[in-house]
Amino acid sequence: MRTGRYRHFKGNEYLVMGVARHSETQEEMVVYRPDYGERDLWVRPKSMFM
């Protein structure tokens, strides 16, 4: 997955910072932050993000 801005189907934009791996399961996780309101960093399994 490339870094950059992505638009959710509901219209909000997110900035993808990169992909990391879960330390226990090795599952790929997308590191992102909303491009609106609070700008905390979040992670979500790659399979759920796309």
**Tens digit of each residue's pLDDT (9 = 90 or more) over 25-38:** 999 999 999 999 88
Residues in CB range of 14: below 8 A, 6 or more apart:
5, 6, 7, 8, 32, 33, 34, 35
Q: What is the CATH number of domain 4-49?
A: 2.30.30.320
Predicted local confidence at residue 21, as pLDDT: 98
Q: Considering the entire predicted model, what is its pTM? A: 0.84
